[in-house]
Amino acid sequence: MKREITITKRQRLINDVRTWFSKPVNLITVFFFIILFVLIAYPLYAVLSSSVTMGQKDSMMYNSLFKQQLKKGDFSWNNFSMLLSGKYTTDYSRALFWKPLFNSIMMSAYASIISIIVGGVIAFLITRTDVRFKKFISSVFIFPYLMPSWTLALVWKNVFINSSVGNGITGWFEAVTGICVPQWFVYGMFPCAIILGIHYAPFAYILVGGVLRNMEANLEEAATILKADRLRIIRKITLPIVLPSMISTLLLVFSSSMASFSTPNFIGSPGNFFVLSTMLKSLYQSNYSGQAYVMTLVLLLFGIGFLVLNHFVVGKRKSFTTVTGKSGQVSYIRLGKLNTLISVILIILLFFFAVFPLISFAVESLCLIQGDYSRLTLRYWLSGEDIQDLSRNVGKGLLRNSRVWGALWGSLKLSIIVALIVGTCGFLIGYGVARKRGSKLADAVSYLAFFPYLIPTMAFGAIWLSVASKLPFLRGTFILLVLVASIKYLPFASRSGTSAMMQLSGEIEESALIVGAPWFVRMTKILFPIQKSSFISGYLLPFVSCMRELTLFVLLADKDSVITMLLSYYDDADISQMSNGVNLLIIIVVLTINLIVNKLTGASIDKGIGGN
Amino acid sequence: MKKVISILVMLAVLFACFASGTQEKTKGETPVQVAIKEAVSLSWDELLVKAKAEIGNNELLVLASTSRFDEQSFTEKTGIKVKATNNAPSEIFEKVGAEVGEGLYSTDIVASVDSYNFNYASQNGWIENYVPKAFKSHIPVDNQNPLALVYYNRLFMYNNNNGELKNYIKNVWQFAELEMNGFEIKNPLLETNTMNFLITLTKEENQKILADTYKSYYGKEWNNSGEYKNIAYEWVHKFLKNAIFNNSDGTIVKNLAKSKPGATGVAVYSKFRSGDTSSIGVAAFEDTEGFAGFLFPLYIGVASTAKYPYAACLYINYCLGREGFINIFGKDVGGYSSNNEVTISENAKNAGDRELPFWKTCLIAEDMDYVTSSYAETFTLFSQWCADK
Total domains present in chain A: 2
- A286–B383 C-beta distance less than 8 A: yes
In angstroms, the separation between the Cα of residue B235 and the nearest Cα of chain A is: 19
Residue A146 shares a structural domain with residue A46? no
B229 shares contact with chain A (CB less than 8 Å): no
Residue A538 shares a structural domain with residue A432? yes
Instruction: Look at residue A605 in the predicted model and tell me its pLDDT.
Output: 59
CA angle B325–B329–B331, rounded 5-degree value: 95
A329 shares contact with chain B (CB less than 8 Å): no
B263 contact residues in A (CB cutoff 8 A): 167-168
Instruction: Look at residue B62 in the predicted model and tell me its pLDDT.
Output: 96
Strand, coil or helix: what is A510? helix
In angstroms, the separation between the Cα of residue A285 and the nearest Cα of chain B is: 5
- B71–A393 C-beta distance less than 8 A: yes
CB B62 within 8 Å of CB B84: yes
Percent of chain A with pLDDT over 70: 92
Determine the structural domain holding residue B65 and report its residue range: 28-150+297-350
Which positions 505-564 of A are in contact with B (Cβ < 8 Å)?
Answer: 554-555, 558-559
Question: Does a structural domain hold residue B12?
Answer: no
Residue A435: exposed, middle, or buried by beta-carbon count in 10 A (0-12, 13-18, 19+)? buried
Residue B196 shares a structural domain with residue B238? yes
Report whether pLDDT(B160) > 80. Answer: yes
H/E stretch holding B12: helix B2-19
Question: Does a structural domain hold residue A307?
Answer: yes
In angstroms, the separation between the Cα of residue A96 and the nearest Cα of chain B is: 6
Confidence of residue A482 (pLDDT cuts 50, 70, 90): very high
For B120-142, what is each residue's pLDDT tens digit?
999 999 999 999 999 999 999 99
Residue A279 shares a structural domain with residue A420? no
Residue B342 shares a structural domain with residue B379? no
Determine the structural domain holding residue A226 and report its residue range: 88-322+332-338
Q: Which DSSP string do the residues of A86-155 spell out, in sequence order?
A: -SS-HHHHIIIIIHHHHHHHHHHHHHHHHHHHHHHHHHHHHHHB--S-HHHHHHHTTHHHHS-HHHHHHH
Percent of chain B with pLDDT over 90: 70
The type of residue at A118 is: V
Please report, for residues A574, B263, B278, the alpha-carbon distance to residue B254 in angstroms, rounded to integers and kept in the order given: 11, 12, 11
Report whether pLDDT(A154) > 60. Answer: yes
Question: Does a structural domain hold residue A48?
Answer: yes
Report whether pLDDT(B13) > 60. Answer: no
Q: Find the CATH number of the domain harbouring A126.
A: 1.10.3720.10
Interface with B, mutate which of A81, A285, A554, A560 (most B CBs under 10 A): A285
- B120–A57 C-beta distance less than 8 A: yes
Residue A35: exposed, middle, or buried by beta-carbon count in 10 A (0-12, 13-18, 19+)? middle
Question: Does a structural domain hold residue A423?
Answer: yes
In angstroms, the separation between the Cα of residue A395 and the nearest Cα of chain B is: 10
Among the candidates A280, A308, A338, a domain finishes at A338
B276 contact residues in A (CB cutoff 8 A): 369, 371-372
Instruction: Look at residue A221 in the predicted model and tell me its pLDDT.
Output: 75
A573 shares contact with chain B (CB less than 8 Å): yes
Question: Does a structural domain hold residue A345?
Answer: no
CB A432 within 8 Å of CB A444: no
Average pLDDT over chain B reads: 90
B346 shares contact with chain A (CB less than 8 Å): no
Q: Average the pLDDT over A437-461 and give the result.
A: 82
User: Taking CA atoms, what residue in B is nearest to A466?
Assistant: B98
In angstroms, the separation between the Cα of residue B249 and the nearest Cα of chain A is: 9
- A287–B189 C-beta distance less than 8 A: no
Q: Find the CATH number of the domain harbouring B197.
A: 3.40.190.10
For B327-360, what is each residue's pLDDT tens digit?
999 888 999 999 999 999 998 999 899 999 999 9
Phi, psi of A341, deg, nearest 5:
-60, -50
Total domains present in chain B: 2
Report whether pLDDT(B241) > 80. Answer: yes
Confidence of residue A328 (pLDDT cuts 50, 70, 90): low
Confidence of residue A393 (pLDDT cuts 50, 70, 90): low
B244 contact residues in A (CB cutoff 8 A): 166-167, 270
Which positions 177-196 of B are in contact with A (Cβ < 8 Å)?
Answer: 182-184, 187, 189-190, 192
Report whether pLDDT(B21) > 70. Answer: no
Torsion of CA A164, B157, B194, B387, to 10 degrees: -10
Instruction: Look at residue A318 in the predicted model and tell me its pLDDT.
Output: 45
Residue B159 shares a structural domain with residue B286? yes
- B376–A61 C-beta distance less than 8 A: yes
Residue B243 shares a structural domain with residue B314? no
For A11-52, what is each residue's pLDDT tens digit?
888 888 888 888 888 888 899 999 888 888 888 888 889 899
Which positions 6-65 of B are in contact with A (Cβ < 8 Å)?
Answer: none
Residue B229 shares a structural domain with residue B317? no
Question: Does a structural domain hold residue A196?
Answer: yes
Instruction: Look at residue A604 in the predicted model and tell me its pLDDT.
Output: 60
A390 shares contact with chain B (CB less than 8 Å): yes
Residue B248 shares a structural domain with residue B362? yes
Stated pTM of the model: 0.84
B161 shares contact with chain A (CB less than 8 Å): no
In angstroms, the separation between the Cα of residue B285 and the nearest Cα of chain A is: 22
Distance of alpha carbon A348 from alpha carbon A62, whole angstroms: 55
Average pLDDT over chain A reads: 83
Instruction: Look at residue B90 in the predicted model and tell me its pLDDT.
Output: 85
A279 shares contact with chain B (CB less than 8 Å): yes
Strand, coil or helix: what is B268? strand
Residue A299 shares a structural domain with residue A427? no
Q: Could you say which of B104, B275, B276 has the minimum Cβ distance to residue A469?
A: B104
Residue B49 shares a structural domain with residue B124? yes
B70 contact residues in A (CB cutoff 8 A): 569
Report whether pLDDT(A415) > 90. Answer: yes
Report whether pLDDT(A480) > 50. Answer: yes
Q: Average the pLDDT over B235-251 and give the result.
A: 91
Confidence of residue B15 (pLDDT cuts 50, 70, 90): very low
CB B249 within 8 Å of CB B267: yes
The type of residue at A323 is: V
Among the candidates A297, A314, A338, a domain finishes at A338
Report whether pLDDT(B71) > 90. Answer: no
B245 contact residues in A (CB cutoff 8 A): 269-270
Residue B299, beta-bridge partner list: B112, B148
Task: Identify the residue with better confidence: B262 or A299.
Answer: B262
A239: left (phi over 0), alpha (psi -120 to 50) or beta: alpha
Count of A–B CB contacts within 8 Å? 154
Distance of alpha carbon A162 from alpha carbon A171, whole angstroms: 5
Question: Does a structural domain hold residue A68?
Answer: no
In angstroms, the separation between the Cα of residue B60 and the nearest Cα of chain A is: 14
Confidence of residue B5 (pLDDT cuts 50, 70, 90): low
Question: Does a structural domain hold residue A218?
Answer: yes
Question: Does a structural domain hold residue A71?
Answer: no
Q: What is the ipTM for the molecules in this complex?
A: 0.84
Highest mean pLDDT: which range of A492-496, A554-558, B191-195: B191-195
Instruction: Look at residue A189 in the predicted model and tell me its pLDDT.
Output: 95
Question: Does a structural domain hold residue B240?
Answer: yes
Residue B267 shares a structural domain with residue B382? yes
Q: Average the pLDDT over A385-408 and give the result.
A: 81
Lowest mean pLDDT, pick from A90-94, A107-111, A468-472, B49-53: A468-472
Instruction: Look at residue A240 in the predicted model and tell me its pLDDT.
Output: 78
Which positions 73-112 of A are in contact with B (Cβ < 8 Å)?
Answer: 88-89, 91-92, 94-96, 99-100
Residue B86 shares a structural domain with residue B188? no
Residue A40 shares a structural domain with residue A112? no
User: Taking CA atoms, what residue in A is nearest to B188?
Assistant: A282
Residue A392, beta-bridge partner list: A389
Instruction: Look at residue B231 in the predicted model and tell me its pLDDT.
Output: 97
Question: Does a structural domain hold residue B280?
Answer: yes
Instruction: Look at residue A70 in the predicted model and tell me its pLDDT.
Output: 92
A388 shares contact with chain B (CB less than 8 Å): no
Count of C-beta atoms within a 10 Å radius of residue B52: 16
Distance of alpha carbon A490 from alpha carbon A429, whole angstroms: 10
Report whether pLDDT(B54) > 60. Answer: yes
Omega within 30 of 0 (cis) for the link into B146:
yes
Q: Average the pLDDT over B209-227 and give the result.
A: 94
Residue B269 shares a structural domain with residue B172? yes
In angstroms, the separation between the Cα of residue B381 and the nearest Cα of chain A is: 8
Instruction: Look at residue A75 in the predicted model and tell me its pLDDT.
Output: 95
Task: Identify the residue with better confidence: A344 or A576.
Answer: A344
B94 contact residues in A (CB cutoff 8 A): 462, 465, 555
C-alpha A14: how far from its chain's center?
43
Residue B137 shares a structural domain with residue B156? no
- B384–A89 C-beta distance less than 8 A: yes
Question: Does a structural domain hold residue B10?
Answer: no
Question: Does a structural domain hold residue B5?
Answer: no
Question: Does a structural domain hold residue B17?
Answer: no
Q: Average the pLDDT over A420-442 and give the result.
A: 87
**Closest C-alpha among A104, A424, A270, A230 to residue B242:** A270
Question: Does a structural domain hold residue B20?
Answer: no
- B332–A391 C-beta distance less than 8 A: yes
Interface with A, mutate which of B75, B86, B107, B266 (most A CBs under 10 A): B86
Q: Average the pLDDT over B4-21 and give the result.
A: 48
Q: Could you say which of B255, B276, B383 has the minimum Cβ distance to residue A167?
A: B255
Q: Could you say which of A60, A372, A555 has the minimum Cβ distance to residue B276?
A: A372
Residue A150 shares a structural domain with residue A255? yes
Task: Identify the residue with better confidence: B13 or B226.
Answer: B226
User: Taking CA atoms, what residue in B is nearest to A100?
Assistant: B387
Lowest mean pLDDT, pick from A253-262, B158-167, B228-237: A253-262
B382 shares contact with chain A (CB less than 8 Å): no
Q: List CB contacts of A346: < 8 A, sequence separation 6 or more.
A: A122, A125, A131, A133, A137
CB B315 within 8 Å of CB B74: yes
Question: Does a structural domain hold residue B256?
Answer: yes
Instruction: Look at residue A574 in the predicted model and tell me its pLDDT.
Output: 74
Residue A118 shares a structural domain with residue A31? no
Q: Average the pLDDT over B73-86 and give the result.
A: 93
Residue B260 shares a structural domain with residue B375? yes
**Closest C-alpha among A451, A454, A445 to residue A425:** A445
